Amino acid sequence: MATEKITMPQLGESVTEGTISSWLVKAGDHVNKYDPIAEVMTDKVNAEVPSSFTGTIKEIVAAEGETLAVGELICYIETSSAGDMKATSDTANIETDSNESNEGVQLSDQSMKKRYSPAVLRLAQENNINLEQVVGTGRGGRITRKDLEKIISTGQIPTTSAPSAESNSTSEQEVVQSNTSKPSQVSSAPQPTSQVGDLEIPVTGVRKIIAQNMVRSKTEIPHAWMTVEVDVTDLVKYRNKIKTEFKQTEGYNLTYFAFFVKAVAQGLKKFPQLNSTWAGDKIIQRKDINLSIAVAKDQELFVPVIKHADEKSIKGIAREINELAQKARTNKLTADDMQGGTFTVNNTGSFGSVQSMGVINHPQAAILQVESIVKRPVIINDMFAARDMVNLCLSLDHRILDGLICGQFLAYVKESLENMNETTVQVY
Amino acid sequence: MPVMSYIQAVTTALREEMQRDEKVFILGEDVGKKGGVFKATEGLYDEFGEYRVLDTPLAESAIAGVGIGAAMYGMRPVAEMQFADFIMPAVNQIISEAARIRYRSNNDWDCPIVIRAPYGGGVHGALYHSQSVEAIFANQPGLKIVMPSTPYDAKGLLKAAIRDNDPVLFFEHKRAYRLLKGEVPTEDYVLPIGKADVKREGSDITIITYGLCVHFALQAAEKLAEDGIEAHILDLRTVYPLDKEAIIEAAKKTGKVLLVTEDNKEGSILSEVAAIISENCLFDLDAPIQRLAGPDIPAMPYAPTMEKFFMMNPDKIEKAMRELAEF
């Protein structure tokens, strides 16, 4: 008999903390190794924590709703034998996806951010420094004594915020901080206060992450925009013709979106410049074409990835879209499903939107919004015709891309979509 | 100022002290006619004669015992152990007699002896010619242990040791003898025993060490300086009793402390330095106190690869310094 600790697992690269959404066991329960013991919501994904040992749950330390850093204790387990210890305690670790290694470098490990040394705590107390707002230069994002001494000597001290606005403001300012890497420039704008009758919604979980990523993207990436109008009359005709039969034989819908994803994947193959990442002193052009697609669910937004989209048929893409959407709706997306995206295609048309300016999915180079297909009068050969029109709106990282290459890319996608009809398209 | 090797500084100090004070005499194995196996006493036999530079039998306890007796009778003996490794038969004399006599006699007697011994490895000396033995003596009140790191310090501290009214163990790193050269004033000067010395100013990390490792740490620090990391290096010089004030000041300066010795890690001088820091500097510490030392195996092996594994060098120190700087 031995008492072992189960800690918050690392559920993906750049994931530093997780929130226990629910416990699946209680003290006294017997669990086998690899049995799920708790559900955890992290920045990227909802996941189950497997037990590292076979034994009896002795004490649950972390409460539901509590957010813990990776590696922090969540419960004690009494193992039945001393033999099956350790070895697998890190089974929940998920390998870093090679495509995102660069993101790893930029985001960097923040696991030590909240580990304060005695010197740091003393200096923070003596000078009334709010450590949440300090960017650490030490290993794992640790705030070093030197970091504080620098802040103190320059006199730009981020002080503790007013207690009323505390919990919400710190996390938001922390986001701004970690993005700008300038501890001194803390926004001094007053925090909005709520009136009687207003509803205050704490910013947590996925909402917090969306906020963080959007701020990061919009502050770091100089966005530029382009829109092309595509005539997809033939594609609509073709798809309408086969959709019923497809549904019957395959069991899921053949959406327009699958055709757009296919056209974009081919376009990226031809213009790999758009399939890249800004890495400070260099641009990394990705070999794999992994398309992130946005899937909305209630208050949440997930961005699962269709890997190697260029190698898949329209049917294969349609099936994967269907699967990923299902998983998102049932909270089954894994960290692996969400990693490795190199370009995002966003189906804004599903909301009826005809024009939008997407925020790039950091650290990608561009995002393409596929708008609603609308029947409109169009002049062809000096005659009015009723055509199915769609806008493709591209947001681009102007550090990496310029109008010329993006224009060529959009023209290519436009052309391939306009040429999709019964004779040219292979669904299978 | 002439440039001298470490061993020349030792010889110079001995000569000047013997010229200054007739009571100073040398005893040890082969120190006379031969001038010592390392030539630390070269020329002294010719200059001062056989009664002041005594060749002794191969009996370390006798060398120490004769020296202690002479010291208690008012002489100023400088006993040489050919290698620090051979000091073991004399430990009883040193600890039970030399270190205790002032206390035991209620201050009626004292024992102003200096025992010199070459210590340390890196010279392919294998087990019996490579050890560091300072830790054995470093919890014996009444003793002083001096381990200088430069020719300048060697001369000034050896003179101080000879003039000190209590027993002093004076450990000279044998690899430093001809490796280290530096400017040494020709005039008479004495450096205080019990005082550490800042050998390099820096604000990023603090290195506390002694003996030859100071030299290695300085070399490593120069490499780190190329990357903008400035190391603060404190040379203990006297490892017993320790200069607590200087240790605390140096540790507080950066809050990131690396302690270096080539002795075995467990129970080394560093352990005491670490304890002093943790007792006094908690709220200034920004990282765990780090110790870089020899492995906990009995002694330095002869095989060159294994000797390298055991022996401290600038690369090992540089690596540990970078780790700490990045923390």
The answer to which of A120-124, A184-188, B48-52, B222-226 has the lowest mean pLDDT is A184-188
Query: Where is average pLDDT lowest: A164-168, A306-310, B7-11?
Result: A164-168
Please indicate if any CB of chain A lies within 8 Å of the CB of B327.
Answer: yes
- At residue A38, φ and ψ (nearest 5 deg) are -155, 155
By CA distance, what is A145's nearest residue in B?
A: B286
Question: How far is CA A43 from each of CA A17, A300, A338, B132, rounded to the nearest angstrom?
Answer: 7, 12, 11, 54
Amino acid at B110: D
Give me the pLDDT at residue A90, please: 45
A:B CB pairs within 8 Å: 33
Provide CB contacts within 8 A for A92, sequence distance 6+. Answer: A9, A10, A11, A49, A50, A52
Summarize the confidence of residues B127-144 as an average pLDDT: 95
The CATH fold assigned to A223-418 is Chloramphenicol Acetyltransferase (3.30.559)
Q: Does A63 touch chain B (CB under 8 A)?
A: no
Q: What are the structure tokens assigned to A139, written together?
A: 């290993």
> What distance in Å separates the CA atoms of residue A72 and residue A18, rounded to the nearest whole number?
10
Q: B247: which strand partners?
A: none
Question: Would you place residue A299 in the very low, low, confident or very high pLDDT band (cuts 50, 70, 90)?
Answer: confident
Contact A118 B283 (CB under 8 A): yes
Note the pLDDT of residue A12.
Answer: 63
Tokens in use for A113? 């951010």
Q: Cβ separation of B255 and A119 shorter than 8 Å?
A: yes
SS3 at position A351: helix
Between residues A190 and A82, which one has the greater pLDDT?
A190
Q: How far is CA B113 from CA A133, B163, B232, in A?
A: 60, 9, 34
**Which part of chain A has CATH 3.30.559.10?**
223-418
Tell which wins on pLDDT, A268 or A53.
A268
Range B292-319 average pLDDT: 94
Q: What H or E segment, with its residue span, contains residue A123?
A: helix A118-126
Q: Could you give the CA distance from residue A18 to residue B319 in angstroms, rounded to a whole number?
A: 34
Q: What is the pLDDT of residues B165-208, one digit of tens each?
A: 999 999 999 999 999 999 999 999 999 999 999 999 999 999 99
Q: Which residues of B touch A139 (CB under 8 A)?
A: 326-327
Amino acid at A236: V
Q: Per the structure block, which two tokens stand in for A316?
A: 């294969």
Q: Which residue intervals of chain A bear CATH 2.40.50.100?
A: 2-94
Which pLDDT score, from 0 to 100, does residue A297 have?
A: 78
Q: Which fold has domain B197-326?
A: Rossmann fold (3.40.50)
CA angle B248, B250, B251 (to 5 degrees): 65
Q: Is A223 a catalytic residue?
A: no
User: Mutate which of A108, A112, A116, A139 to disrupt the B interface (most B C-beta within 10 Å)?
Assistant: A139
Around Cβ B275, how many Cβ atoms within 10 Å? Answer: 12
How many angstroms away from the CA of A140 is the closest CA of chain B?
A: 8
Which pLDDT does position A343 carry in this prediction?
94
- Decide: B185 and B1 in contact? Cβ < 8 Å: yes
> What SS3 class is residue A128?
coil
Q: Exposed/middle/buried for B270, CB within 10 Å: 0-12, 13-18, 19+?
A: buried
Q: Which of A117, A121, A122 sits opposite B287 (nearest CB)?
A: A117
The pair phi, psi for residue B43, each rounded to 5°, is 85, -15
Q: Residue B119 has which token pair?
A: 């210590």
Helix, coil or strand: residue A244: helix
C-alpha B247/C-alpha B207 separation (Å) is: 10
Query: Residue A111: pLDDT band by 50, 70, 90 thresholds?
Result: confident
**Radius of gyration, CA atoms only, chain B:** 19
The answer to whether A140 contacts chain B (CB < 8 Å) is: no
Give chain B positions within 8 Å (CB) of A121: 283
Burial of A129 (0-12, 13-18, 19+ CB in 10 A): buried
Mean pLDDT confidence for A396-400? 93
Which string of b and e fits A298-312 if b means at least 16 CB within 10 Å?
eebebbbbbbebbeb
Domain ranges of chain B: 3-183, 197-326
**To 5 degrees, how large is the angle CA B47–CA B49–CA B51?**
145
The verdict on whether A398 is a catalytic residue reads yes
Residue A95 has pLDDT above 60, yes or no: no
Q: What is the pTM of this model?
A: 0.54
Q: Does A108 touch chain B (CB under 8 A)?
A: no
> Mean pLDDT across chain A, nearest whole number?
82
Which of A125-134, A207-216, A394-403 has the weakest average pLDDT?
A: A207-216
Prediction ipTM score: 0.79
Q: Which one of B254, B284, B327 has the shortest CB-CB distance to A139?
A: B327
Distance CA A409, CA A266 (A): 10
Taking the Cβ of residue A139 and every Cβ of chain B, the question of whether any pair is shorter than 8 Å is answered with: yes
Average pLDDT estimate for A135-150 = 91
Q: What pLDDT does residue A172 have?
A: 42
* Two structure tokens written together for B128: 């019996």
Residues contacting residue A292 through CB under 8 Å, at least 6 positions apart: A303, A304, A305, A306, A341, A342, A343, A344, A345, A361, A364
- pLDDT the model gives residue A102: 44
What integer is the mean pLDDT of A334-343?
Answer: 88
Whether the CB of A138 is below 8 Å from some CB of chain B: the reply is yes
DSSP state of A335: H
DSSP assignment letter at A129: B
Amino acid sitting at position A109: D
Q: Nearest CA of chain B to the CA of A45: how many Å?
A: 30
Average pLDDT over residues B204-213: 97
Task: Look up residue A138 and give its two tokens.
Answer: 């030490």
pLDDT at A54 > cutoff 70: yes
> Which sign, positive or negative, has the C-alpha torsion A380, A383, A384, A385?
negative
Looking at residue B169, what is its pLDDT? 98
Residue of A nearest to B282 (CA): A118
Q: What HEC string does chain B produce?
A: CCEEEHHHHHHHHHHHHHHHCCCEEEEECCCCCCCCCCCCCCCHHHHHCCCCEEECCCCHHHHHHHHHHHHHCCCEEEEECCCHHHHHHHHHHHHHHHCCHHHHCCCCCCCCCEEEEEECCCCCCCHHHCCCCHHHHCCCECEEEECCCCHHHHHHHHHHHHHCCCCEEEEEECCHHHHCEEECCCCCCCCCCCCCEEEECCCCEEEEECCHHHHHHHHHHHHHHHCCCCEEEEECCEEECCCHHHHHHHHHHHCCEEEEEEEECCCCHHHHHHHHHHHHCHHHCCCCCEEEEECCCCCCCCCHHHHHHHCCCHHHHHHHHHHHHHC
What's domain A2-94's architecture? Beta Barrel (2.40)
Going by C-alpha positions, the residue among A287, A285, A327, A330 that lies closest to residue A307 is: A287
What's the fold here for domain B3-183? Answer: Rossmann fold (3.40.50)
Show the tokens assigned to A252. Answer: 């899921």
Residue A360 has pLDDT above 90, yes or no: yes
B187 exposed, middle or buried (CB, 10 Å; 0-12, 13-18, 19+)?
exposed
Q: Residue A145: its chain B contacts at CB < 8 A?
A: 254-256, 284, 286
Query: Using an 8 Å Cβ cutoff, are B149 and B235 in contact?
Result: yes
Burial class (CB in 10 A: 0-12, 13-18, 19+), A323: middle
Amino acid at A136: G
CA nearest to A136 within chain B: B327
Cross-strand partners of B233: B200, B207
pLDDT > 80? residue A286: yes
pLDDT, tens digit, for every residue of B78-132?
A: 999 999 999 999 999 999 999 999 999 999 999 999 999 999 998 888 989 999 9
**Strand order from edge to edge, sheet including B53-55:** B53-55, B24-28, B76-80, B114-119, B168-173, B144-146, B238-240
- Chain A interface disruption, residue of B283, B284, B285, B323, most A CBs within 10 A: B283
